[in-house]
Amino acid sequence: MNAVERERHEYFMRRALLCAAEASERGEVPVGAVLVSENGEVLAQAGNAQINTSDPTAHAEIRALRAAATVMDNYRLPNTTLYVSLEPCTMCCGALVHARIDHVVFAAREPKAGAVVSTASLLDSPALNHQVTWSEGVLAHESTSLLKAFFAARRKQAANNKL
């Protein structure tokens, strides 16, 4: 990855991390996503919202794809890159394929549910009718720190509630 590409990835990943931080402030697991066109236009951005919307599909990635599809008036979103602060799960990988996303960049791996490299290699499957390329590790430390702080606060609150 050259310096210009790295700078672009970091810029948009910082935006995704802002969405993640906003989700955390709402009590949601801090995951954020930003969908960007090939010319650098932000089409949509979102954070997790499963708890506040009582919607198990309200992952940041899905919410960003839905918003962009509405803006573009098309369920296909070719020539786009999705920046997400945490490795996408199985559901989100499927949505990326169906939306025809070109590339996904994620910050940190998700060892329990990540389906790009951690528990599966879904985006690399030759059985898929569309291939989503991917890269990882952009601002991984920042994403991991945000997640660790969120879950540490939750554990502390749970412990205090038991007293």
Catalytic one of 28, 61, 110, 142: 61
Please enumerate, as own/partner, the contacts of 54-62 that have beta carbons within 8 Å and a separation of 24 or more.
57/91, 59/31, 59/33, 59/88, 59/89, 59/91, 59/92, 60/16, 60/19, 60/20, 60/23, 60/31, 60/32, 60/33, 60/84, 60/85, 61/33, 61/88, 61/92, 61/95, 61/96, 62/91, 62/92, 62/95
61 as an active site residue: the answer is: yes
* Active site positions, annotated: 61
